[in-house]
Amino acid sequence: MHEYLDIQPAVKEALRKGSPVVALESTIVAHGMPYPRNVETALRVEGIIREEGGVPATIALLGGRLKVGLTAGEIDYLGSARSVVKASRRDIPFVVAKGLDGATTVAATMIVAAMAGIRVFATGGIGGVHRGAQETFDISADLEEMARTDVAVVCAGPKSILDIGLTLEYLETKGVPVIGYQTDELPAFYTRQSGFGVDYRVDSPSELAKALKAKWDLGLSGGVVVANPIPEAYAMARDRINTAIAEALGAMEADGIKGKDATPYLLRKLTDLTGNDSLEANIQLVYNNARLGALLARELAALVSQRV
């Protein structure tokens, strides 16, 4: 194993045995939700994965170490501490060298998961091309990571605050498949509709696992976006969330917020503008993705064991 990598014993044993393991990010804990809901959500996500027969592996950087699998105390620390770096690919070596604490983004979680040998990662929504990127060039490193790292990302689609059309164009250029789970239309985080289609639809975890295995067996490197719509009972009306996003974007511009601070700012603003409805939707879609992530990891592990 990598000299900078610490794998929790339960996760290490599961990987050794070929059992299903699901990676989880930590930015959603440190920067995506208010305390203590962030910690409660993270622990419940781990519980859902265990209930579905998987082993959760929340990923973070603590004291400069790459951690794969966290204790409940470490999750609570990330959720309440104020000095945790939001760490993407570019940040990892500096957080490590300085012995700092970092919460991993989608991109950084993919990197560390791949180091550990984990192929399935469940999160909320992916980053992408931001609105107005034609002038700002604000494009998430998540997209570039998907082009190079062999990890399937189970999500509720791109975050609604993004330019979804341009995000799909970027993914197409990089050869990253966008798969709709039981849907022909790409979900957009808080809503089940985006107005855009997916590349392929799959209707079961086994069908999805076979496609992933074929991709990687063929040497076609890179990840896959598994777009899993938020459950209908918790979805927000598209017009309502789009109105709130427009207002939040205006406030962000007025406040001069840019770069890595943009997404956390917008998510907090949306929580305020929707009376916490967007936060509750966010929590429910993460639960839903964790469940599918565990089912997918189980099917993928079974396929790999058959080959062995």
Using an 8 Å Cβ cutoff, are 180 and 201 in contact? yes
Give CA–CA dist 113/221, Å, rounded: 15
For residue 33, give the nearest of 103, 93, 96, 92 by alpha carbon: 103
Using an 8 Å Cβ cutoff, are 172 and 137 in contact? no
Using an 8 Å Cβ cutoff, are 24 and 60 in contact? no
Which parts of 30-186 are beta strand (E)?
A: 55-62, 65-68, 85-87, 102-104, 120-122, 152-155, 178-181
Could you give the C-alpha distances from 230 to 63, 188, 280, 287, in angstroms and in order?
35, 9, 11, 9
User: What is the enclosing helix (H) or strand (E) of 23?
Assistant: strand 21-24
**SS3 state at 229:** coil
Q: Which residues are catalytic?
A: 25, 159
